[in-house]
Amino acid sequence: MERWWILSREGKPVEEGELPERPDDSNPADGEAFRPWYKQDEHLHIENGAIVGIHGRGTLAEVQQRLRRYLKNESELIQKFGKNEDILLPDLDRFLAAS
């Protein structure tokens, strides 16, 4: 089933109960607990020079596959986009397609 997912670096889905309370000024959940709070698009989470997770939309298998692709190219992506960023997936896909 296509929906929003938050996955850890290991590709494991975050459980709804693990999420902090949604901020009042965030995007509305519209019935999807994992809908991004502030960004509108899918994005990769990078902290301290490492991919820590992905916030994507699709089936679980699709989002896991995308995460594996980004992890395979992790050092190149961090060199290009920075060590502490949330990077939009379309930007990552364009970069990887051009490399």
- Tell me the average pLDDT of the chain: 87
Q: So what's the pLDDT on residue 6?
A: 86
Contact residues for 11 (Cβ-Cβ < 8 A; gap 6+): 64, 67, 68
What pLDDT digit, counting tens, does each position of 11-24 carry? 999 887 777 787 78
Higher pLDDT, 38 or 1: 1
pLDDT of residue 39: 67
Residue 31 near residue 50, CB atoms below 8 Å: no
Q: What is the mean pLDDT of residues 25-38?
A: 74
DSSP character at residue 13: B
Tokens (6 digits) for 70:
């980004």
What are the φ and ψ backbone dihedral angles of 56, each rounded to 5 degrees?
Answer: -130, 165
Which runs of consecutive H residues, i.e. helices, occur in the chain? 60-72, 74-81, 89-98
Please report the pLDDT score of residue 83 as a whole number. Answer: 85
* pLDDT tens-digit series, residues 52-87: 999 999 999 999 999 999 999 999 999 999 887 789
Look up the pTM and report it.
0.82
What pLDDT does residue 96 have? Answer: 94
